[in-house]
Amino acid sequence: MGPHSRQMNNPIYLLTFVAALGSGLVAGILFAFSNFIMKALARVPPAQGIAAMQSINVLVLNRWFFVVFFGTAVCCLALAISSFARWQKPGVNYLLVGSLLYLIGTILVTIACNVPLNDALAAVDPSSADAGRVWTNYLKNWTMWNHVRTIAALGAAASFTIALRGYQ
């Protein structure tokens, strides 16, 4: 059995690998929103932007997104817990940092900041007189918190990738 086979049989290595891929994929999704999706939605009339984002917020609640988004969180939680039992091992700090970045900076920020903004937007009638003001506020606040989530997920992916290098 070669060194690569031994790594693939190591549950911590596998969790780290999956967490690196998952947090990188989530970072890419969130980056797309921060970089061009929200900017594109801001360029259309508020009623259209609101309706489009309301649709996105419904469609994102699907099994594949949940598997990636929350499956990565489960890996991170397991890695964070295991890192305390393995604290003397070299590079374990990267597992803890990556896990905390993802769990706090991506999951917690989503639950505490982005989801309440999405819920409030879901209640808005795109054709109401107040829609333009609500939309402008939403774009600014949602995108700011999305930047935080993007940076946290990217930092987690980088930290897990560095941790994987320690297995060589």
pLDDT digits (tens, 9 = 90+) for 131-161: 999 999 999 999 999 999 999 999 999 999 9
Return the ∠ at Cα 138 (arms to 48 and 105), rounded to 5°: 125
CA distance 145 to 34: 10
By three-state DSSP, how is residue 123 classified? Answer: coil
pLDDT at position 31 is: 98
Element (H, E) at 9: none
* Cα within 13 Å of Cα(133), Cβ side: 3
| Encoded tokens for 24 | 């990188």
What mean pLDDT do residues 82-104 have? 93
Q: 113 to each of 41, 84, 106, 109, how far by Cα in Å?
A: 20, 29, 10, 5
For 90: left if phi > 0, alpha if psi spans -120 to 50, otherwise beta; the answer is: beta
In the predicted structure, residue 72 carries a pLDDT above the cut 60: yes
pLDDT above 60 (res 18): yes
Q: Encode 82-99: b = buried (16+ Cβ within 10 Å), e = exposed.
A: bbeeeeeeebbebbbbbb
Instruction: Of 44-53, 88-97, 101-110, 112-121, give the lowest mean pLDDT range.
Output: 88-97
State how far the alpha carbon of 74 is from the alpha carbons of 20, 27, 81, 140, 146, in Å.
13, 16, 11, 30, 21
Q: What pTM did the predictor assign?
A: 0.92
